[in-house]
Structure 1
C-alpha cells in the first residue's frame, strides 16, 4: 500500500526537493503551491507517481481552509509544512499586508494544517509532521550589527520550533512524530524572490536539507539542524530554556525590588 504525503510550497526549492525525494521513495503526493503550472509540470514528469496538484495561496483564509480540508480528509502519512515568504526588513518598514502574509504563511497555515492532520494520524497510530523553519529562529539575541533586522520572520520561525517541540511531547506514545527542520542559507529561489543576491555566499543544496530531515525523523530528532555538526550546541540551548522555565518563582526577583 502506497504512503501519502502532502507538501506545501512544492513548486520550488526545499518543497520541490521533498517532492522529488518522496516520489522516488514511492509516496503518492498532494502538492500545494501558488503556481499550478509548475505542479502540473512535476506531475507530467513523474507519471509513475500519483500526484494531486492543488493550487492554493496559504496567505489567504480560503487557501488555508482548502488545504486543511485535504489534511483532515485524506489518510496522510506525512505532512510537510514548507511554504514560506521572507519579507526581510525592520518591523517599522514592513508593510501591513506583507506582515499579514508572512504570519499567515509561516504561523497560521502550518498551525491549522497540523491541527487538521493530527487527529487522523492519531487514529491510525502513525504519521509524521515536518515543519520547515530555519536557523534564524535562534538569532533573536544577535546584536544590531550582526544581522539584518527581520523581527517578524525570525519570530515566525521561532514559533515553529516551539510548536513542534511542544506538539511532539503532546503526541508521545501515539505513533505520530513531529519535527522542525532548521536549515541555514539554502540555494533556492527563496531569497531571489525577495530581491536578495546571495550568489556569493556558500549555500546548502535543497536536496541535502531533505536528506537531513528524513534521516532526522529516523533518528528521532524533533529539531533537525542540517548544517550543525555538533548537536550538543542545540541540546545546550534547549537545556537552558528548561532551566529558565524551571527557575521561575511566585516571588518577585530581587533585581526588580527597590
Structure 2
C-alpha cells in the first residue's frame, strides 16, 4: 500500500520540488495550491501515482477548513506545511490585509492542519509532520542594519520553530514525529514575487533542499537546517533557550529593583 502525503504550496518552488520527489519515490499525493490549472498539470504529469488536487487559499478561513478536512479524513503518512508568503516590509508599512495573510498562511493554517491530522496519526501509530520555516526565525537579535525589514514574517517563522519543537516533545513515543526545516535562501521565485532581486546571492537548489530535508528526517532531527554545516551552532541556541527558561525565578531580578 502506497503512503499518502499532503503538500501545501505545491505548485511552485519548494512545494513543487517536494511533490516531484515524493511522486518519484512512489507516494500518493494530495497537492494543495491556489491555482487549479497548475495542480491539474502536476497530476497529469505524474500518472504513475494517485494525485488528488485541492485548490485552496490558505490565507482564508474557507481554504484552511477545506484542507483541514483532508487532514482529518485521510490516512496521511506525511503532512508538509510549506505554503508561504513573504510581504517583506516594516510593520508600520504593512497593510493589515497583508499582515493577516502572513499570519494565516504561516501560523494559523499550519496549526489547524496539524490539529486536524495529528489525532488520526496517533490512532494509526505513525505519521510525519514537516513545517517549512527559515533561518530568519533566528534573526530576532539582529540590529537595525539587517535588511529587509520583516518583523511579522520573522515572527511567524519563529513560531513554527518553537511550536514544532514543543509538539515533537508532546508526541514522543506515539510514532508521530514533527520536524521544522529552516532554509536560507533557496533558488525559487519567492523573493522575485516580493520585488527582491536575489539572483546575485548564492542560493541552494530546491533539489538539494529536499534532499537535505529527507536526510534530516532519517537522522531524527527536529530542527533541520540544510545549509548549516556546524550543527553545534543550533545546539548552542537551543541550550541557551533552555538555560534562560530554567533560570526564571519568582524573585524580582536585582537589575529591576528600585535603587
TM-score by length of 2: 0.99
- In the TM superposition, what is the alpha-carbon distance from 1:149 to its structure 2 partner? 1.3
- The CA deviation string for residues 205-240 of structure 1, in whole angstroms up to 9 with x for no partner, is 111111111111110000000100000000000000
Alignment of 1:63-82 (within 5 A): 63-82=63-82
Q: What's the offset of the Cα at 1:146?
A: 2.2
**How many residues get paired?**
258
Offset of 1:147 from its aligned partner? 2.5
Query: What is residue 171 of structure 2 aligned with on the other side?
Result: 171
- Stretches of structure 1 lacking an aligned partner (at least 5 in a row): none
**In structure 2, what is the Cα distance between the partners aligned to 1:187 and 1:211?**
14
Query: 1:129 Cα deviation (Å)?
Result: 0.2
Determine helix, strand or coil for the equivalent of 2:5: strand
1:155 — aligned with what? 155
1:180 aligns with 2:207: no
For 1:197, the equivalent position in structure 2 comes to 197
Q: Which range is displaced more, 100-109 or 208-217?
A: 208-217
Range with bigger deviation, 220-229 or 205-214:
205-214
Q: Equivalent residue for 2:253?
A: 253
167-176 or 145-154, larger mean C-alpha shift: 145-154
Superposition CA RMSD, Å: 0.5
Whole-Å separation in 1 of the counterparts to 2:117 and 2:189 = 28
Q: Which consecutive aligned stretches of 4+ in structure 1 deviate over 3 angstroms post-superposition?
A: none
Say if 2:54 is the partner of 1:61.
no
> What corresponds to 1:130 in structure 2?
130
CA distance in 1, matches of 2:39, 2:156: 26
Per the alignment, residue 145 of structure 1 pairs with: 145
Partner residue, 1:15:
15
Question: Separation in 2 of the partners of 1:11 and 1:196?
Answer: 21
| 2:179 alignment partner, SS class | strand
